[in-house]
Amino acid sequence: MLYVILLSMLSLKEKDRPVVRKLLCAGCCVRCVLRFCCVGISSAYRRSYQDIHKELLAFVIEENSPSDDVKTDEPPNKRIRVEEDCVTPAETETETDSDICPVCLGVLQDFCDSTFAKQVSDAVKKQQYEFDSLVLTVSLPAQLSVREHSCWLHVKKEVREKSMCLGKDDVIQVKDAFKWAVQGKIGQELGAAVLANSPCEVSVGFVHPETEEDCHFLANTCPGCFKPTKNKASIFTRMAVVKALEKISDEKFSKHYPCPPKKPNTGCTALDTTCLHTSVFIAGRYNKFSRELPQTPWVIDGERRMDGSVEELIAAPLLSSFRADGFNFSSSGREDVDVRTLGNGRPFALELLNPHRSKFNRTEIKQLQETINQSSDKISVRYLQIVTREATSRMKEGEEEKTKTYSALIWTQKAIEDTDLEFLGNIKDLKIAQKTPLRVLHRRPLAVRQRLIHSMSAVYLDTHHFTLKLCTQAGTYIKEFVHGDFGRTKPNLCDLMKTEADILELDVESVDIDWPPAIPD
């Protein structure tokens, strides 16, 4: 009767028996036993440790009942002896032995109970995320792969006898067994669904300093697998260890490392639970009405040159509403500190890092836009909306081919008349060659770029001033086109007008990029 129940609850087959026995003898925990029996039913791992333990013992004993009609070539008395040796409480074994599993180093023992699930949930709750789903990620000590390999070699023969087609890959991974055991409990505590994919990632990690040296012999057997990397503290990364284990022969491995792995004295230590929500992207168009406002904070020699910036004015209300850790601002081109951006504004996108709240409806976003607009008269924002990461690339797409229109206040050294300006309106698609302007040459490569001035028109103001409207290819440096930048932009407005000329004010009138989509009021 009991035998039937066992088969259904843990889904163990008759041929698992030698595997189970061998693993229990090696001191493996019951969940590791299930793993190496390739039990792929998640509910089996969720049951309490004591329940699984009880049933596994019964399963091994059941075999010896006279009613068992399964053939076996071992005499019954030998089998019983094996059980008495191994499947007995730890106290009766040698004193130094602990009950920590030598394969998972305790990860599938105490850490699978509801106390640990509660501990993880509490750490998440403390950070006050608003989410309805999460994904659990687990990081394990690299040496667990060595121990897993050792255990695999130990029972390989028995597993293969069960079914020829089973291999190391069919063994359930510690990671998966751990997730199956606890993630439901964590989800329940947090009232969120635990999915394979979710923007909200809860990470737990384990370390086991006692056995760190397990991996070291691999550096001699496969030196090519372990190359020092800049950001890693140790060369024994999980990836490198797995790679080295793929290359090593079974004989060589057994020579350097015991099979099954030795029991440790201590179990793993859990690292602090961390939470990370994927970025939320917000896009819109902005106007800049000030000639004393940089787009991004202006810092020279570690000192701020001006108060505020476009990105900070836009980001501040968003950061606090989304409760994000930080942001990255990007835009379709940029204007200088002293340049205004008028008209329909310039497209921008803001990546909000690790937002603790990410769901906002249209009305709420509209209110946020209102908050930004009321916070300062130096900027304003329109078409504010949540977009995908992929969509933000449309802002930069074809940036070079797009056109921009400008309005510039020009001073000329030579006295001018209305009629001196007429010829400018007749110039179409003027090709100019611009060397990287001196003002940005310290941070950009030196190059000569061909640009097009599509059209110009002039409005006469007085004998030394006029307004020049320009429609140009994006990426044209307007100031340099006007004053010539030591003759490094050719031809320039001075050449065209045969006088020294300078630009006193510049406004961007339009940025011809149709993204993000307009939102009607």
Does 66 help bind another protein (rule: CB under 8 A)? no
> Which span sits near another protein by CB under 8 A: 167-175, 259-267, 271-279, 411-419?
411-419
Q: Compute the distance between CA of residue 495 and CA of residue 513 in angstroms, rounded to an integer.
A: 31
Among residues 502, 505, 509, 510, the one that binds another protein under rule CB under 8 A: 502
Rule CB under 8 A: say whether 298 interacts with another protein. Answer: no
Q: Which does 108 bind (CB under 5 to 8 A by kind): another protein, Zn ion, none?
A: Zn ion
Judged by CB under 8 A, the residue of 444, 514, 517, 518 near another protein is: 444
- Rounded distance between C-alpha atoms, residue 371 and residue 318, angstroms: 9
- Whether 365 and 384 have beta carbons less than 8 Å apart is answered as yes
| Pick 1 or 446: Cβ nearer another protein | 446
504 near another protein, judged by CB under 8 A? yes
CB 59 within 8 A of CB 87: no
Please say which residue, 304 or 444, places its beta carbon nearer to another protein: 444
Note whether 506 and 339 are within 8 A (CB): yes
Does residue 181 touch Zn ion according to CB under 5 A?
no
Q: Are 39 and 11 in contact (CB under 8 A)?
A: yes
Least gap, CB of 132 to Zn ion (angstroms): 33
Smallest gap, in angstroms, from Cβ of residue 331 to another protein? Answer: 20
Within 478-497, the residues that bind another protein by CB under 8 A are 483-487
Sequence-distant (≥ 6) Cβ neighbours of residue 334 within 8 angstroms:
295, 296, 346
Strands 200-207 and 269-270: antiparallel
> Using the rule CB under 8 A, which residue among 299, 306, 415, 427 binds another protein?
415
Catalytic residue among 336, 338, 495, 502: 336
Contact between 427 and another protein by CB under 8 A: the answer reads no
Select from Zn ion, another protein, none the partner in contact with residue 504, using the beta carbon and a kind-dependent cut-off of 5 to 8 Å. another protein
Angle, helices 49-62 vs 17-25, to 10°: value is: 120
Q: Rounded CA gap, 138 and 273, in Å?
A: 10
Q: Does the annotation mark 336 as catalytic?
A: yes
**Segment interacting with Zn ion (CB under 5 A) among 107-115, 275-283, 405-413, 414-422:** 107-115
Three-state DSSP string of 367-399: HHHHHHHHHCCCEEEEEEEEECCHHHHHHHCCC
Angle at 141 between CA 136 and CA 145, to 5 degrees: 100
Closest contact distance (angstroms) between CB of 305 and another protein is 10
d(CA 234, CA 30): 32
Contact pick of 193, 463, 498, 517 for another protein (by CB under 8 A): 463
- Choose the binding region for another protein from 83-91, 132-140, 229-237, 436-444 (rule: CB under 8 A): 436-444
The footprint of another protein on this chain (CB under 8 A) covers a number of residues equal to: 26
The answer to whether 188 touches 123, Cβ cutoff 8 Å, is no
The CA distance from 221 to 52, in Å, is 38
For residues 312 and 317, give the distance between their C-alpha atoms in angstroms, rounded to a whole number.
9
443 binding another protein? (CB under 8 A): yes
Q: Is 304 in the site for another protein (CB under 8 A)?
A: no
Pair of tokens at residue 336: 């200088």
Token duo for residue 5: 């129940």
Q: Does 302 bind another protein (CB under 8 A)?
A: no
Catalytic positions: 336
Residues that bind Zn ion (CB under 5 A): 29, 32, 101, 103-104, 108
Residues that bind another protein (CB under 8 A): 300, 411, 413, 415, 435, 438-446, 462-465, 483-487, 500, 502, 504
